[in-house]
Every structure is written in C-alpha cells, then in structure tokens.
Chains A and B, each alone.
Chain A
Amino acid sequence: MSILEVKDLYKNFGKTQVLRGISFSMEQGEVLSIIGSSGSGKTTLLRCLTNLERADKGVITVGNKVVFDPEQGVKLTKEEARENQLQFGMVFQQFNLFPQYSVLDNVTLASRLHAKERPDYKENKKQIIAEIEANAHDLLEKVGLSAKAGNYPCQLSGGQQQRVAIARALAMKPAILCFDEPTSALDPELTGEVLSVIRSLAAQDTTMIIVTHEMSFARDVSDTVLFMEEGVVAVKGTPDYVFGEGATPRMKAFIGAVSNHG
C-alpha cells in the first residue's frame, strides 16, 4: 500500500496555472526526486503537499488518511490539522533556522511546545524534556553535529545549518520528509556534506521527496524520478528510465543545460 497518494492536484496563482493535474503515489521508504526547469511547478507542488500553499483542487492521502481534500469541506480540529501538518517534514532552501536559539533548542523547540499540551506534562516535566533532548542529541549525531549542540546558527556554515534543519525536521517524526532544493543556497564545497546526510537517510529507508537541481545526486539516490513540465508530470519512473529511454525532448534539453552548467 502506498504511503502517499496525490490525485489531480491543481493550483493557480491568479491566472497562472502552476499545477495542472498532478497525480502520483509513492511507497513507504521510497526516495522520490522531482526535477524540472524553474517555473515547472516543482516547488509549488512541494509547498502544496506541506500545506504552505493551499491547492485549489485535488486529494492528498497519507497512509490511508485523507489529509487534503477541499471538496469534502470538513472542518478540522486544531489537533487534526496539526497531525496532518506533521505528516510532512520540510527542509527549506534557505534553512530557516531560528536564529535566537541554539542548535539543540532549534531541534527541540516545537516538541517542547507540543509537550506542554500533554495532560501529564506537569507531573513528568523533567522526564519529558529529558526524552526530547535525548532524541535531539541522537538526531544531531545522525547529521554529524553533536559537537555543535550549544552553538547558534550564525556560528555555523551553510552546510551545517542545513544539517541542523534536517535534524529539526526529523524531530517531528514525519511520515514523509520533503526537501526544497536543499543545496541551492550553498557554496559548491558545502553541498557534499548535506547530500551525504540525505544519502544516509535514504539508506535508512526514510521516505523522502526531494526537489533538486543536482542531477547526478537525483540519479543515484532516488528510487523514482519525476520530471515536471509546465505543471504536469511529464515523465516518471526509475532514474535509469527517466534519464534514459523515457526522456522527452524537453527533458533532454533540460539535462543538457543543467549539466553543461555544472
């Protein structure tokens, strides 16, 4: 059974049709890369999945739970809305770390705020906080930044900041972790460390959707590659298929342009 199913997603900005009927599904543990030229709608697709934009039409199902369907018109409670939100983790192009918090606090902040709403929070406060922090330390270790737990974002390199952002997203235990061009804001020498963290997550069967311009990375980390063209899925399949026989003329031109550049 698929973990994510997207059906007929449409999104307009004013009169510009950005998504024109996107459908795809993915399995638990699958790594899906979305590629395409700028303006093809890949970032908008990711933002619609993560509820940062509201699609106009379509259905999004995670597991067997419908998390988005404007035609159903059901009013969600605050708790349900948050649960749906937390199905998706998001790593931004610009990291968006909270500058006034240490690395550790960036990773724990949201969990600590949620924990306050637990009925047993007052009694078990110490234990709950300790669990949250232990989990955060594990995650920082996973992204290779245990030593930086007490530092502030401004003291880190871009690559380190992005790894903290990955740990922060993982702390919410999302069903699907989304990346919006995670290395596009980084110096070339720093992209490697972020990509290798994503690779190690892939090796641990983390379900991920990655919008990226790193073609060779997309090719070797992904189980599936999805090429978008003017708001629709133009080609989808294994990397070998999409980069090989499945490539449309548009896609060949795109890959040519990207690889000449890099």
Chain B
Amino acid sequence: MFWQVTLSLLEGFGMTLTIFALTLLFAIPLGLVIAFGSMSKLGFVIRRFGKTSDGMMKPIPIYPIALVCKFLVWVIRGTPLMLQLIVIYYGPGLLGGQLLPRFTAVMVAFVVNYACYFSEIFRGGIESIPKGQYEAGQVLGMTKTQTFFNVVLLQVVKRVVPPMGNEIITLVKDTSLARVIAVYEIIWSAQAYIKLHGLLWPLLYTAVFYLLFSGLLTLLFGYIEKKLDYFKA
C-alpha cells in the first residue's frame, strides 16, 4: 500500500513540478517586462490642472504604460490567487465564450500572478542601484544598454536573490491551489485516498514531498547567494 501511495503521489507531484517549472519559466521574463513597464517614463504632461502656491501652473506628468502596469499589479496582488484561478477558468464561460483547458487556465493564472510579484522584486532591485553606477558608465562612454547589462544587472541579481528565493518557495506550495479547478496535482492525488479508501495518512505524507523539494531549493539559493558573495553591492 505504501508503495502504491508513493507512486500515485509522485504522479501528482509531477504535475506540481510542471506547474512550478512552467510558471518560473514564463513569469520571470514577464515580471521583468512589467517591472520595466512600471518604471517607464514614456508619456505626456498635462498642463491644465493644478496650481502651485504662487499661482504657477504645475505640470502633471502622465505615464500610461506605468499606470497600466501598476494597475495590473494592484489587482493581481490585491486578490487571492484562488479567485484568479476561478475567474480565468469559469470567467469566459460566464461571458458566453469558450472555456480554456484547465491546465492552460492554471498556467495563465499562475504566470500572471507570479509575474506581478516578481516585477515588484525586480523593480525594487533595479531602483536600489545607486545613480552613481549609471553615471560612471556614462562618463566612460558606455551606452545606457551597455551600462545596464555590464554593470547594473549582476548587482540587481545579487539583491533580488533572497526575496526571489522566498517567493519561489511560496510558489511550490501555491501549486496546490490548482486543484480548485480540478487540475490533478499532489494534494488531489492524496485526497483521492480519503474518498476511495478512507485513508488520511497519504495527505499528511504529501508534506514530505513539499519539504524535500523546498529543502532542495533552499540549498540552491544558498549556493547562488554564496557565489555572489565575492562582491558587495
């Protein structure tokens, strides 16, 4: 019985790992895009509204790309992931459209959700790099792109590794939410034993899988932090 449970939990854990890996794969680049979007200074200035104390017109800058990104981050961070899963899966049906396949709906919800959290981590990391680094690049004749990729990026990576480690370990456990729209991950597999055999212990046994995997990730992030320890920034 133990081996049978282990095997079927492993199968469920395969789905857990798939959701985990694909979410990381897509959410990290999307998070970078959203981070740059919310820092974007593309826009225009409204001169009509607002007056300063001395009666001068005070121009109000409007950055549409940044506004859209910040709105998205607000909505996604401000609502539960479980609700987002339900909206993305059932929403199209309620509006009379075609349902997404369950797995696709899970991936959309997870990628967008995690991209928003990542984007805030990236934005914090990028904005924490002192202006002097960019200025040093500029006076040495480097372009902004050269400065970003050759000077700033690794310093950002160093700064975002600890918060990213945190977020990524949260992701491992958040994958269990996929079961609310019946995507069969490890918790689902364990619950099947409650329903079919009245066995509770397989559910508790899932903790071992989660713990082993998050332990592995902890070691990995510790290693990366150590690798980047050779400089201070």
Interface residues of A (CB under 8 A from B): 50-52, 78, 82, 85-86, 88-90, 92, 94, 96-100, 109-110, 113-114, 152-154, 168-169, 172
Q: A85-B138, A100-B231 are in contact. List 14 more A-B contacts (CB 8 A).
A: A51-B138, A51-B139, A89-B139, A94-B130, A98-B151, A99-B233, A100-B233, A109-B150, A110-B141, A113-B142, A114-B141, A152-B231, A153-B232, A172-B141
Q: Which residues of A contact B158 (CB under 8 A)?
A: 100
B146 at the binding interface (Cβ < 8 Å) = yes
A85 in contact with B231 given A98-B133, A99-B155 (CB within 8 Å): no
CB-defined contacts of B94 to chain A, threshold 8 Å = none
Q: List 17 A-B residue pairs with CB atoms under 8 Å apart, sorted by A's residue number.
A: A51-B138, A51-B139, A52-B139, A82-B141, A86-B141, A92-B136, A96-B130, A96-B132, A96-B135, A98-B151, A99-B231, A100-B233, A113-B142, A152-B231, A153-B231, A153-B232, A168-B140
Chain A residues closer than 8 Å to B154, beta-carbon distance: 100
User: B116-157 vs A: 1/0 string, CB under 8 Å?
Assistant: 000000000000001011011111111100100011001100
How far, in whole Å, are A152 and B222 apart by their CA atoms in the complex? Answer: 22
Residue in contact with A110 in the complex, picked from B132, B133, B140, B230, CB distance below 8 Å: B140
User: Contact: B155 with A85, CB < 8 Å?
Assistant: no
Interface residue from A85, A98, A114, A154 paired with B136 (Cβ < 8 Å) = A98
Complex contact A96–B150 (CB within 8 A) = no
Inside 8 A of A78's CB, which chain B residues have their CB? Answer: 143
Using known A-B contacts A92-B132, A109-B150, A113-B150, determine if residue A99 contacts B232 with beta carbons closer than 8 Å.
yes
User: In chain B, what residue has the closest Cβ to A82?
Assistant: B141
CA distance in complex: A113, B230 (Å): 23
Tell whether, in the assembled complex, residue A96 and residue B231 are in contact, meaning their CB atoms are under 8 Å apart.
no
Residues of A contacting B130 in the complex (Cβ-Cβ under 8 angstroms)? 94, 96
Bound: A152/B232 CA distance, A = 9
A110 cross-chain contacts in B, Cβ below 8 A: 137, 140-142
Contacts of B230 in A (CB 8 A): 100, 152
> Quick one: closest A residue to B139, CB to CB?
A90
Residues of A within 8 A of B133 (CB): 96, 98
A154 to B232, CA, bound (A): 6
Q: Please, how many angstroms separate the alpha-carbon atoms of A97 and B155 in the complex? A: 12
Chain B nearest Cβ from A212, distance in angstroms:
18
Cα(A169)–Cα(B137), bound, Å: 11
Given the known A-B contacts A99-B232, A109-B150, A152-B231, are A52 and B140 also in contact in the complex, defined by CB atoms under 8 Å? Answer: no
Please, how many angstroms separate the alpha-carbon atoms of A100 and B231 in the complex? 5
A185 to chain B, nearest CB (A): 11
Interface hub of A50, A97, A110 (most chain B Cβ within 10 A):
A110
Give Cα distance in the complex from A98 to B223, angstroms: 23
For the complex, give the distance between the alpha carbons of A99 and B155 in Å. Answer: 8
Interface membership of chain B positions 13-40, coded 1 if the CB is closer than 8 angstroms to chain A and 0 otherwise = 0000000000000000000000000000
Q: Kindly list the 5 A-B residue pairs having the minimum CB-CB distance in the complex, ordered from nearest.
A: A110-B140, A96-B132, A96-B136, A154-B232, A90-B139
| Chain A residues with CB under 8 A of B155 | 99-100
Considering the chains assembled together, what is the distance between the CA atoms of A90 and B139 in angstroms? 6
Could you tell me the distance in whole angstroms from the C-beta of A207 to the nearest C-beta in chain B?
16
CA distance A52 to B139 in the complex (A): 8
Q: In the complex, what residue of chain A is closest to B143 when comparing beta carbons?
A: A78
A168→B142 CA distance, assembly (Å): 13
Chain A minimum-CB-distance residue to B232? A154
Taken together as a complex, chains A and B put the C-alpha atoms of A50 and B141 apart, in Å, by 11
A182 to B155, CA, bound (A): 24
Give A109 to B150 CA distance when docked, in angstroms.
Answer: 9
Q: Please indicate which of the listed interface residues B137, B142, B231 has the most CB atoms of chain A within 10 Å of its own CB.
A: B231
Q: Are B231 and A113 in contact (CB under 8 A)?
A: no
Let me know if B138 and A52 touch, CB within 8 A.
yes
| A153 surroundings in chain B (CB, below 8 A) | 231-232
Contacts of A168 in B (CB 8 A): 140
Contact B146 A113, beta carbon cutoff 8 Å: yes
Kindly provide the distance from the CB of B161 to the nearest chain A CB, expressed in whole angstroms.
Answer: 13
- The smallest beta-carbon distance between B61 and chain A, in angstroms, is 14
B24 to chain A, nearest CB (A): 24
Question: A86–B142 Cα gap in the complex (Å)?
Answer: 10
- Interchain CB contact under 8 A, B139 and A88: yes
What is the CB-to-nearest-CB distance from A235 to chain B, in angstroms, rounded to a whole number?
Answer: 28
Docked pose: A89 CA to B135 CA in angstroms: 12
